[in-house]
Structure 1
Amino acid sequence: MNPPDRHLLTLHGIHAMRASHPAARRLKRQQPGHSAHGNKVWLSSFVLLDYLHDNPPPTAIKAMDLGCGWGFSSAFLAKKFAAEVTAVDLDGSLQRYVELQCQLNQTEVTFKRGRFQQLTARELGQHHTIIGADICFWDSLAEVLYKLIRRALRGGTVQIILADPGRPPFWALVEQVASELEGYHGATVEVLSRRLQSPLKTEKYLLTINR
């Protein structure tokens, strides 16, 4: 597969399909509308992955990508860090996009359809690193993600990173995590702002939780 460069965004050697990518457009025509917002690659993913490029996790870890969408973050983790990645999304139709993204980068991940509420402490804890970008866009998701983070820490997850443009639900999540989970199972909570200049100029916020 060798699509025209104008249909790609490239970050640290890993390619992301634009919505204009011919293969992505074919899939859109073949499938009904997505159930949430997994309809493109969101810029928060690029900021999160740029952070991981500068602060890399150990090689060959197990990682989970929450609300994976088209799977760029999943493919990045698998290709860049040889991670064993589980890509999770509510919308099962996104699996074909994730597979396409992985083919583009000559890597593989495992797709899992499911809700955040269904992920148990044991399942979450099997993953060293859990990431999510642009997944706290409804008020109700702040509490859902808080409980997920708590379960993950209880289960043994070492690192959790969420990226967001700064929506009110995200800040509600940040406040609750910082006030209630600092020190929980040895967790350290930090909030960062981070700018990216290329492939697109943007600034996002990162909630990082490390043990």
Structure 2
Amino acid sequence: MTIMNKFRVALAVAALTFTTATASMAQTAAPLKIGYTSVEYVLSQMPESKQIESQLKDYSTQLKNQLDAKAAEFRTKGEAYQKGAATMTDVVRTDKERELQNMQQSIQEFQQNAENSLQQKQQALLKPALDKLQKNIDAVAEENGFTYILNSDGASPVLLHGPKEGDVSDLILKKMGITPGAAQAAPKVTTPAATTAATPAAPTKTKTKSKK
């Protein structure tokens, strides 16, 4: 299926869902009023945003420091192995190679766990802010008579087009006592620098003749 066809299918599904919801509302003879907002934009204006970003940065730095320490130890032992391999017995050399391979595997596992840990940390930090946002979205919808409020964010937003007067982002911010337009960066899920470091390669077995 081509990209265009996938897009058309997605639009068809969205249209079906929207039509069904509209028909349901029509049955109750209630007026249909739709608004939309950028969750990312609203979050970026909230005071919690800077705190979340700072905490995520600190946590990412902790992960990076731990990985750097593991990588430094691996390099030190790897260099020692390369220098002394020629004089090692077969048993010692095999033991050193196994140790380095285990260390390399441990570093790779740490990288994967660090990525998951950072994402979980961000979700935990964002939850109170998202709960607060949802509460104020509900309040704005009720006070201004909106039947639905859609999210315009993402690569495949629910909203594909809408009039400016339907954008309730600033109303939500004002509801929280925030002046719209403050220059802040929205917290985003990012892979920590710690987890992007290249994993050192385990030394290959040397062919140097050993002493018996």
* TM score, norm. by length of structure 1: 0.21
Q: Which has the higher helix share?
A: 2
Comparing both structures, which one devotes a greater share of its residues to strand? 1
Q: Could you state the TM-score of these two structures normalised by the residue count of structure 2?
A: 0.21
